Structure formats: C-alpha cells, structure tokens
C-alpha cells in the first residue's frame, strides 16, 4: 500500500506536517506524519515501556498487549490519517536520529471562532530527561499556531506526573486549573491539571525560546 499523501490531503491547515528538525542533547529530533510501517517499532517500544506509559494513559479496551500489538497499529494509523485529512487532528511521530521514538498529536481540532485543540505526547523511557519531549512540544505548538492556524492548545496531565508537568512548564504552558475525576486511567477516575497556551503567548516561537536558552539548536544543512 502506497503511503503517498492522497490528493486533497493538504487542503487542511498544517497537514501534512513536517516541522524543521532540531538538535537536542546531541541528537537530531524530527516530527513527521505517522505511517503504517511504524507498526513494528511502535509495538516493540510500547510493549517494552508498559510500566512507564500505562499509568498515565486513559484506560483502553482490552489488555495492554492486545492494544499495543503490531496488528493493532494499522487501524489506529489509518484512523489518525483519516482524521488529519478531515482537519480534525495532526498526528505525528517523533524520530530521534532517524528512529521511531514516540508520538505527538494535536487532536479534537475545532475551527471557527474557537480554533482550539488538545496536545498529547509520549516518548520512550530511555529518552526521558533529555529534553526530547520538550523539543517536540515546542515544535508542534509552533506548527499548530503557524501553518495549523490554531489559537489555543491545552494539555491535561495527572498531578503526579512531574516529568510531563516539567515539559509543559518549560515551553511556556500555564496552569489553568484542576479537572476533577477527568479521565479513567488504570481503571479509576483521576484528577488532571489543565495547562494551556495561546498564540499571543509564544512571541517569536517556542522553538526559538529553546534555542536562545541553549536547550536546542537548529539543524544546518551542509
């Protein structure tokens, strides 16, 4: 099956999305559309990192092994790309030095007067603490507010998830409040803090903030 973008897929703002890459902690970080052949790497990493990921993610249908098997990815990927073609989400893979390393998605896009969406992400456990997720959020936020023509992004995170809170606050998301019993996670209704940012708050861009702070560098072609 060909993975070329179908005719008309680029009619929605910001899709297909390929933000410019960054150098973070000596590694090249890229964002690009999810694709069907990600299945093997996606499944292997999700199964390996179950203990790291499952405690923060919404409760799904069926066992973790079933939901994250290789055969479970193609229908997910197909649905994500279909939503992207309809302008309802921006589903990207995170690559580090050319290898699949996680996902970042802007979802539930609402246009008209609201122009808002949520942002969610995960990276592999071996990359935690290196600034990869921070860079990915900055890249995706700039893309959403630029080519994506959105005005507001929000992210919800459990109060106990200190690592994700650090990612959001580092790039400039601000705490807006507490959603009580917001999502079912590991079988229980969990409180989540909501963080948000609007286009006016990004200045010259979140990526440029990271570069100015020495946390990332642009990739310069030779």
More confident position, 142 or 61: 142
Give me the domains of the chain, ranges plus CATH numbers.
Answer: 16-218 (3.40.630.30)
In this prediction, residue 11 carries a pLDDT of: 60
Q: What's the 3-state SS for the chain?
A: CCCCCCCCHHHCCCCCCCCCCEEECCEEEEEEECCHHHHHHHHHHHHHCHHHHHHHCECCCCCHHHHCCHHHHHHHHHHHHHHHHCCCCEEEEEEECCEEEEEEEEEEEECCCCCEEEEEEEECHHHCCCCHHHHHHHHHHHHHHCCCCCCEEEEEECCCCHHHHHHHHHHCCEEEEEEEEEEEECCEEEEEEEEEEEHHHHCCCHHHHHHHCCCCEECCCC
**What pTM was estimated for this model as a whole?**
0.93
Using the predicted structure, report yes or no on whether residue 8 has a pLDDT greater than 50: no
Using the predicted structure, report yes or no on whether residue 147 has a pLDDT greater than 70: yes
């Amino acid at each position: 099956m060909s993975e070329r973008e179908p005719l008309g897929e680029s009619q929605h703002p910001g899709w297909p999305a390929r933000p410019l890459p960054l150098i973070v902690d000596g590694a090249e970080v890229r964002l690009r559309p999810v694709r069907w052949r990600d299945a093997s790497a996606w499944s292997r990493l999700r199964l390996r990192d179950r203990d790291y990921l499952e405690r923060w993610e919404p409760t799904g249908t069926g066992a973790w092994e079933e939901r994250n098997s290789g055969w479970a990815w193609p229908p997910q990927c197909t649905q994500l790309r279909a939503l992207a073609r309809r302008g309802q989400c921006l589903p990207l893979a995170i690559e580090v030095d050319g290898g699949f390393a996680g996902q970042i998605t802007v979802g539930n896009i609402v246009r008209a007067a609201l122009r808002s969406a949520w942002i969610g992400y995960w990276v592999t456990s071996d990359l935690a603490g290196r600034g990869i997720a921070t860079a990915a959020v900055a890249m995706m936020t700039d893309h959403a507010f630029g080519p994506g023509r959105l005005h507001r992004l929000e992210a919800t995170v459990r109060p106990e998830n200190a690592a994700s809170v650090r990612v959001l606050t580092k790039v400039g998301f601000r705490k807006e409040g507490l959603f009580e019993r917001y999502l079912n996670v590991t079988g229980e209704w969990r409180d989540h803090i909501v963080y948000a940012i609007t286009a006016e708050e990004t200045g010259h861009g979140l990526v440029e903030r990271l570069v100015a702070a020495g946390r990332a560098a642009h990739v310069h072609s030779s």
